[in-house]
Structure 1
Amino acid sequence: MADWQDQSEIFNGTANTGLRDTRSFDGKDTRAIPAFVFGEELADIADNDPRVAVLTADLGRSNRAIDFAARHPERFVNVGIAEKNMITMAAGMASCGYVTFAATFASFSALLGTEQIRTDCAYPKMPVRVVGHHSGISMGFYGTSHHSLEDLGLMRTIADLTVVCATDANHLRAVLRASMDHPGAMYIRLGRGRDPEVYADVPQIEFGKAIRVREGKDLTIFATGSTVHPSLVAAETLTAQGIQTRVVDMFTVSPLDVTEVLAAARDTGAVLTVEEANRTNGLGTAIAETLFEAGVSGLRFKRHGVPDEHVPVGPPAALYDLYKLDAPGITHTALELLK
């Protein structure tokens, strides 16, 4: 790869490109925020488990699959810019006994590869983990072709596919470890890899069971992936204003933790869902369906995410501000709901 082709620092958030406004840094040196641990963690797992294999579509630096390749080159495949082929190859390898991790931008894995995920992975229940990184609007400057806002809506409609959003570096470690013996196919959604810490240690997780990360009796915020941290910050602000706010990390979008959803409706009487995705058919819709089918009434409820539109080009932090997906925006949306 020529030097000018290596854009890993841009994708990993460390490059001084002049393309980002100060809000993209949130007042922190991005190099101080934990980077992608995807390849490192899988390499650690592979040290003791011969089933692990990793594939990528020419993005080994962006997702740090190269960290796996450096230690286990015999189980690493760079297929080039051929995302659909990568997913089918991963399914073929899985049929031979591997647990395969096929990683590329979420806009390419989920949107380009929906048919392959459904037919080659989920339908035959292959142990393939399709990893969609740089999801949502985290690649703001690259525009609609690289934004991935529809993936949650698409993936959760595929039968026998577990859909998971990693919250931070430690949570990603937990997801990768737990995925090794999870039956069938999975879609694992990641952010930019430099997500603020929510979990100080690697948490114990169970797919399909949400994590209540903050208690409250007046409002429940259901968040997933990149929206968990700003939801916690928003909850602190709301609590300071006398609104006791529960925050739930609904990291498994499918299958949904129905018990936690109904508990929120019973305990708090107001529910706000927050996702860095098109709010049509995503996490918010899944929770709304659950509440409606359970006959819940008298509940204040709002789906918060990106409206059904194409997002403009811009710095990610500015886009989060525009769509009120940062902590101040989530606080404002919650207060509007509770009026």
Structure 2
Amino acid sequence: MAEKVKKATRESYGEALRELAEEYPRVVVLDADLAEATKTALFRDAYPERFIDCGIAECNMVGVAAGLASCGKIPFATSFAMFSAGRAYEQVRNSVGYPRLNVKIVGSHAGVSVGEDGATHQCCEDIALMRTVPGMVVLNPADHYEMKAAVKAAVEWKGPVYIRLGRLAVESFNNSDGYSFELGKGITLRDGKDLTIIATGLMVSRALEAVKNLERQGVDARLINIHTIKPIDRELVVRAARETGKIITVEEHSVIGGLGDAVCGVLSGECPVRVVKIGVNDQYGHSGPAQDLLDEFGLNADHIAETARKVMERS
């Protein structure tokens, strides 16, 4: 059994880059003047000759990463999600996605849990944007061990990848000896027959707490962790819909274009069932303590459990 740890996935990302550097000498890391916040400073301090600070110029950073990839390097271009996925979208689309270059775009501090930085930095659209880039793999790991495994998988995958990082610390739950990470394959954390909760990223730990609460109330909920939003595990999603008949998706992202829409896109054509989406409802965030904002937007265990009970009552 691996040690249980509590840390932000952005920190796990920085540790993974540093640990993989010797095994993968073609890995280089770029940042946009945020290395301490994104934790790429861990790599920078260990391998300064393979680190480039591009300054507050994210569009240029993605262009530099594309050039490095065309020369055989494996660049990780890192900034806050609002900038690496948002501000630099045109460069990601045309300079990385169109030629299918081996660039890893990394978005830290995504979602409303950025907290006091406010709406301009609380990117709740990054997954939607990156899903639309043809050939882009989209990863949203949920804890320390999953992030480390995802970074290694991204290094070994030849082609563009987007990785979403969180700011808040989360307690690890993927620390069993049987844990296995595979691109494009979701993980069933808890089996159940009454309904299925499908969660991603920071919300997986909240959903796990909700499932435990529901169990005490007599609701047998299945919980699926979707760390790879694109390509999504279609087989697992369809099986859950057929076996439980009711789906709730949970994400710290807009309900438009994220996990919920990805799940609906699968089920509408293969197994139409009722899907309830929990996320940010077509609105901007605002400044405030991270946990207070998560509560305000219904991104907590209590609201997930309450939604599940309402779904059961209507069935």
Which range, TM-score by smaller chain? over 0.9
Report if the CA contact (8 A) 2:97-2:136 is conserved. Answer: yes
Does residue 235 in structure 1 map to residue 211 in structure 2?
yes
The counterpart of 1:69, out of the listed 44, 47, 65, is: 44
- Number of residue pairs matched? 306
Counterpart position of 1:301: 275
Report if the CA contact (8 A) 2:76-2:106 is conserved. Answer: yes
Find the residue that maps to 2:295 and give its secondary structure.
Answer: helix
Report if the CA contact (8 A) 2:124-2:254 is conserved. Answer: yes
Partner Cα separation in structure 2 for residue 311 and residue 41 of structure 1: 30
Counterpart position of 2:291: 317
Q: How far off is 1:193 after superposition?
A: 5.3
Does residue 101 in structure 1 map to residue 76 in structure 2?
yes
Report if the CA contact (8 A) 2:198-2:249 is conserved. Answer: yes
Q: Deviation string for 1:257-278 (max 9, x for gaps)?
A: 1101100111111100000001
Find the residue that maps to 1:180 and give its secondary structure.
Answer: helix
Counterpart position of 1:33: 6
Counterpart position of 2:184: 208
Q: How far off is 1:59 after superposition?
A: 0.7
Report the residue type matching 2:252 in the other structure: E
Which blocks of at least 5 consecutive residues in structure 2 are unaligned?
none
Report if the CA contact (8 A) 2:113-2:294 is conserved. Answer: no
Find the residue that maps to 2:7 and give its secondary structure.
Answer: coil
- Bigger relative contact order, structure 1 or 2 (CA pairs below 8 A, ≥6 apart): 2
% identity of equivalent residues: 40
Partner Cα separation in structure 2 for residue 273 and residue 327 of structure 1: 13
Find the residue that maps to 2:71 and give its secondary structure.
Answer: coil
Partner Cα separation in structure 2 for residue 183 and residue 50 of structure 1: 15
Q: How far off is 1:201 after superposition?
A: 5.4
Counterpart position of 2:309: 335
Q: How far off is 1:37 after superposition?
A: 2.3
Partner Cα separation in structure 1 for residue 248 and residue 45 of structure 2: 43
Report the residue type matching 2:293 in the other structure: L
Partner Cα separation in structure 1 for residue 131 and residue 120 of structure 2: 21
The counterpart of 2:220, out of the listed 244, 254, 265, is: 244
Partner Cα separation in structure 2 for residue 292 and residue 48 of structure 1: 43
Q: TM-score, normalised by structure 1?
A: 0.87
The counterpart of 2:111, out of the listed 126, 136, 139, is: 136
Q: Deviation string for 1:7-60 (max 9, x for gaps)?
A: xxxxxxxxxxxxxxxxxxxxxxxxx83241222221211112211100100111
Which blocks of at least 5 consecutive residues in structure 1 are unaligned?
1-31
Counterpart position of 1:150: 125
Partner Cα separation in structure 1 for residue 167 and residue 28 of structure 2: 22
Report the residue type matching 1:126 in the other structure: L
